[in-house]
Structure 1
C-alpha cells in the first residue's frame, strides 16, 4: 500500500491546537461540550424512531461530574439550567463519573433539548468547522 504522493510515503505536518473562541470566565465558568450517545447518533433522525433505542434513552440529560452536582447543591435527577451567551435550556442532571469537573456534556440528538441553541457558531479559521463542541456556560438549579 502506498500514499498517492511521489515516492508513496505519507507527509505529516505538526499542528498546534488553537485556543477556544469563547474561553471560560467568571460569568461563564463551565465548559459545555456536545456529542452523541451510544443509543442515538447522527441527529437522531433514525435512532429516535427506534422504539428500543428511544425507550433506553428517551430524553436528553446533562451529564456532570458528581462534584459539580455537589457544588450546585443538586442531585442526579434534579433539573438544572444551562446558560450560554446565546441561550438557555433546562435538563435533568445526571451524575457521570467519567466527566471532568468544570464540564457539562449535552447530547445533541434531542430536538426537544435544543443543545445547538447554546453552542458557539464561530468557525475555525483553517478548517471552517463550527466550534459546536466547546462553549462557555454557567449552571444553576432550575
Structure 2
C-alpha cells in the first residue's frame, strides 16, 4: 500500500509528558488531561488513557464520515451513534498492538442500508484510512 499524500487543511498538535503516566495537552490549551495506565495494564486507572483518547477521536471521525456518506446517499442518519472500542494487547513479536471494533446504531434505516453506509464511511474516514492494513478493524451495526 502506498503512503497516502494529502493537501493539509489542519494540523492538531499535542504534547505528552511522562508517557502513559503523566499529562497530555494540546498547543491551544483546549485539551489538557491526566493520563494513567488502566488497572488492566497495572496502572491506577485514575486518569484517561491513550486508548480512550484514540477511541474518542476514531468514533467522532467515523460519525463525521458517516454523515458525509449519508448526505451523498440521501439517507437519514439522525439519532445515530458510533462507538469505537479500542483494545490493546501483546503482539506475537513481543511488542504491543491495537485492534478496533466500530459499532453504529442508525435507527432510521434498515440493517442492510446501515451496513452499506458504515462500509462506505470506513472508506472515507481518515482514521480508517490511517489504520487500514495495519490493525484489525471490525465494523458492525447494532
The structure where helix makes up a greater share of residues is: 2
TM-score, normalised with respect to structure 1: 0.27
* Structure having greater relative contact order (Cα 8 Å, sep ≥ 6): 1
